[in-house]
Amino acid sequence: MARVLITGGAGFIGSHAADALLAAGHEVRLLDNLSPQVHGSQRHRPLYLDKAAELVVGDITDALAIERALRGADMVLHLASSVGVGQSMYDIASYVRTNELGTAMLLEALSKRPVERLVVASSMSIYGEGLCRSADGSVVAPAERTIGQLRKGQWELRDDDGRPLEPLPTPESKQPTLSSIYALNKYAQERMCLIIAKAYGIPTVALRFFNVFGPHQALSNPYTGVLAIFAARLLNNRPPLVFEDGLQRRDFIHVTDVARACVLALESDRSDDVFNIGSGQSRTILSVAHDLARVMGRPGIAPEITGKYRAGDIRHCFADISKARDALGFEPRVGFEEGLDELAGYLADQIAEDRAEKATEELSQRGLVA
């Protein structure tokens, strides 16, 4: 049994990680500022949190709050972050403060009071574009699309001769390409944790989550993951707004699989390493918009393809999970269809304020959606 502190533990992934840790016999404390964008202006303790999880309400940039939360903790799962790729492109100082300064504050505390283990949430967004195969069969790391290409609606990745590139699973060895402030923050978090942990002898791994979905994702947060945004639209009988042509591909992994990966990483003896945590499968955003409408009983609400693009977005990325499989014994258990059916059940009695159009408007005014 270990006493585990989860930063950002009142959020979507944190709540499921808490459940999984409690089920595995660990004690759990959460440090979370109950950010209004995620938890609403009332900032109540979320009802979905297990009562056995102790909640310390405090900010990850507050040294005293961290010190209080760390008392008696054996291990730390560091999830506290602002998570919107689009929002990170204008709320820059706030993203750097929460994500980078917050991690720095945590690490200063850990340097004075090391724990047995640290696991930090990194992200697939650090890869930029995922690996691809070119028409001649070679494996390439595609360059970011230029603004000129995006303006012309040239969404698909192509080689120098204009031939289409075929997306491939992306392994941890791909060099990062940081195309949003959020991606830069996540890479900084990952590296800061690994650097400081090594210096102070704290066994640490970073988990690079792909697109996580499932219950408890903040439905009224217009900067959350795409499935929660689409769900909020559909609950209000409005069509999901799809950027580009909808054929961009992502890797959707169920949150209970991610929570299990966190437990595996905390319980493993691997250190100074990074692991992809995804399903290994890719889906288009357009297909998930249709799938979600169907399972939510609104098959008649067709997604609206906006033909717009969001600054900082990549075209395709999905995971090569062989390293996590081999080293952590990680295997996704919840298939996409099964996870989506379960999500529809959860959504059935949820009320969500749909703020997607307002958020898109906010990005448009700044030239970040065009």
- Active-site positions read 182
Contacts with ligand UD1 by CB under 6 A: the residue count is 23
Is 285 a binding residue for ligand UD1 by CB under 6 A? The answer is yes
| Nearest in space to 7 (alpha carbons), one of 120, 153, 100 | 120
* Binding to ligand UD1, residues 124-163 (CB under 6 A): 124-125
Widest CA span in the chain: 59
Quick one: 109 or 224, whose CB is closer to ligand UD1?
224
Quick one: 194 or 311, whose CB is closer to ligand UD1?
311
> Residues 306, 308, 312, 317: what is their CA dihedral angle, to the nearest 10 degrees?
50
Quick one: 34 or 301, whose CB is closer to ligand NAD?
34
Minimum distance between the CB of residue 246 and ligand NAD, rounded to whole angstroms? 19
Contact 222, 118 (CB under 8 A): no
* 340 C-beta neighbours (distance < 10 Å), count: 22
* Binding to ligand UD1, residues 303-322 (CB under 6 A): 310, 313
Minimum distance between the CB of residue 88 and ligand NAD, rounded to whole angstroms? 10
Taking the C-alpha atoms of residue 118 and residue 207, their distance in angstroms, rounded to an integer, is: 11
Q: Contact with ligand NAD (CB under 6 A): which of 3, 5, 14, 311?
A: 14
| Nearest in space to 305 (alpha carbons), one of 317, 291, 318, 287 | 287
Amino acid (one-letter) located at 361:
E
- What is the residue whose two structure tokens read 């600054």? 311
Minimum distance between the CB of residue 1 and ligand UD1, rounded to whole angstroms? 31
- Exposed (0-12), middle (13-18) or buried (19+): which is 139, by Cβ within 10 Å? exposed
Minimum distance between the CB of residue 163 and ligand UD1, rounded to whole angstroms? 23
| Nearest in space to 315 (alpha carbons), one of 184, 203, 201, 164 | 164
The secondary element (H helix, E strand) that includes residue 15 is helix 12-23
x/- mask, ligand NAD, residues 156-185, rule CB under 6 A, reads: ------------------------------
- State which residue has the least CB distance to ligand NAD: 11
Is 229 a binding residue for ligand UD1 by CB under 6 A? The answer is yes
Minimum distance between the CB of residue 102 and ligand NAD, rounded to whole angstroms? 5
Is 107 a binding residue for ligand UD1 by CB under 6 A? The answer is no
Is 339 a binding residue for ligand NAD by CB under 6 A? The answer is no
CA dist list (Å): 76 to 102, 121, 198, 215, 330: 14, 11, 15, 23, 20
Minimum distance between the CB of residue 22 and ligand UD1, rounded to whole angstroms? 24
Q: Which does 313 bind (CB under 5 to 8 A by kind): ligand NAD, ligand UD1, none?
A: ligand UD1
Direct distance between the N- and C-terminal alpha carbons of the chain, in angstroms, rounded to an integer: 51
Segment contacting ligand UD1 by CB under 6 A, of 50-58, 138-146, 199-207, 222-230? 222-230
Quick one: 106 or 131, whose CB is closer to ligand NAD?
106
Taking the C-alpha atoms of residue 121 and residue 13, their distance in angstroms, rounded to an integer, is: 10
| Nearest in space to 158 (alpha carbons), one of 118, 185, 187, 129 | 129
DSSP code of 144? P
Minimum distance between the CB of residue 211 and ligand UD1, rounded to whole angstroms? 4
Is 142 a binding residue for ligand NAD by CB under 6 A? The answer is no
Q: Which does 33 bind (CB under 5 to 8 A by kind): ligand NAD, ligand UD1, none?
A: ligand NAD
Phi then psi dihedrals of residue 338, to 5 deg: -65, -45
CA dist list (Å): 66 to 6, 313, 319: 11, 33, 33
Q: Which does 13 bind (CB under 5 to 8 A by kind): ligand UD1, ligand NAD, none?
A: ligand NAD
Binding site for ligand NAD (CB under 6 A): 8, 10-14, 32-35, 38-39, 59-61, 79-83, 98, 102, 121, 123, 186, 209, 211-212, 218, 225
Give residues in contact with ligand UD1 (CB under 6 A): 83-85, 123-125, 209-211, 223-226, 229, 241-243, 248, 250, 285, 310, 313, 356
